[in-house]
Amino acid sequence: MIASRVSPHRRLNSIIINSFAWLILIALALPAVWIILTAFRSNSEINASPPVWIPREITFEAFGNMFGLNPNLQQRVAVEAYMFNSLFVALSSTVVSVAAGTLAGYAFSRFKFRFHTAAFLMLMLSRTVPGVALSLPLFLLFTRLGWTNSLVGLSFVYVAINIPFAIWLMDGFFRQIPRDLTEAAYIDGCGYWSAFWRVDLPLALPGLATAAIFAFLASWNEFQIVSVLARNNASKTFPPGLFTFTEQFTIDWRGMCAMSVLMMIPAIIFVILTQRNLVRGLTFGAIKG
């Protein structure tokens, strides 16, 4: 048996592509790495010239100041409220939007009904409206309803924003599942709900995980709408809270970086825990059996 050999030309192309990919990855990760390192620096290294890349001394003073562990600190940001609000809004809106989007995506992919295509297109077109255009109408509506500074009201807004994307993604996933499997479940005595729960949904879990990741991060990182609807510290999430921090402590770069690190933690945890499902979800239509 003759062992297969990789041609020098193909090997050179692989080296060039990998090197280029690593350069892009390093360039994209460099700002985040710099923020993380700055959060653990001492004050003497913040504005040092030339800049100090690797901290000579690791300190958690910025995090202690942020959580009020320094008795000499006169003023600090309400980071606990920001964290709770962000988690509540992001998690609740993710659960509701993914659940509703999954059911609606299954209905669009498996059943034909009146105005099927028109309803789907209208849902997709609603996602094209930018957040800036929604801010003023939502503010007027929330003011009339008395929902300003309401976490539940803010969660409803993000549910409405994330549902079209979840429907589109789950509709594509369910279309990749052969109808023969669903029809076989009907023949075996399953109803619509049983076939969905026992056959289709387990096969579409990568899509559900992908939709959940995007919905969570979209709610977690959104700034424009929450900055209009949340007017006090008790209802603000991390993005407007960080902006408030920059207004109050314009020279505390280390504190801003420490708060940014707290914002990164959920995204990092989500990517680590769901990396396999995320890759499968993003490439669901690339290979067909």
CB atoms < 10 A from the CB of 253, how many? 18
Domain count along the chain: 2
Report the C-alpha gap between 138 and 172 in whole angstroms. 31
pTM of the model: 0.82
Per-residue pLDDT of 222-260, as tens digits, reads 998 998 998 888 888 999 888 877 766 556 788 888 888
Residues 34 and 115 in one domain: no
In a domain, 64, yes or no: no
CA dihedral 164, 165, 170, 171 (to 10 degrees): 60
Residues 176 and 265 in one domain: yes
By residue range, what is the domain housing residue 250? 79-282
Residues 157 and 245 in one domain: yes
Residues 90 and 46 in one domain: no
Q: What is the pLDDT of residue 71?
A: 67
In a domain, 69, yes or no: no
Write the CATH number for 222.
1.10.3720.10
Residues 262 and 155 in one domain: yes
- Would you say residue 2 has pLDDT above 50? no
* Nearest partner of 158 among 90, 242, 58, 98, judged by Cα: 90
In a domain, 174, yes or no: yes
Per-residue pLDDT of 258-267, as tens digits, reads 888 988 887 7
Q: What is the DSSP letter of 286?
A: T
In a domain, 12, yes or no: yes
Residues 29 and 118 in one domain: no
Helix (H/G/I), strand (E/B), else coil: 40: coil
Look at phi and psi of residue 149 and say left if phi exceeds 0, alpha if psi is from -120 to 50, else beta. Answer: left
Residues 202 and 264 in one domain: yes
Residues 20 and 161 in one domain: no
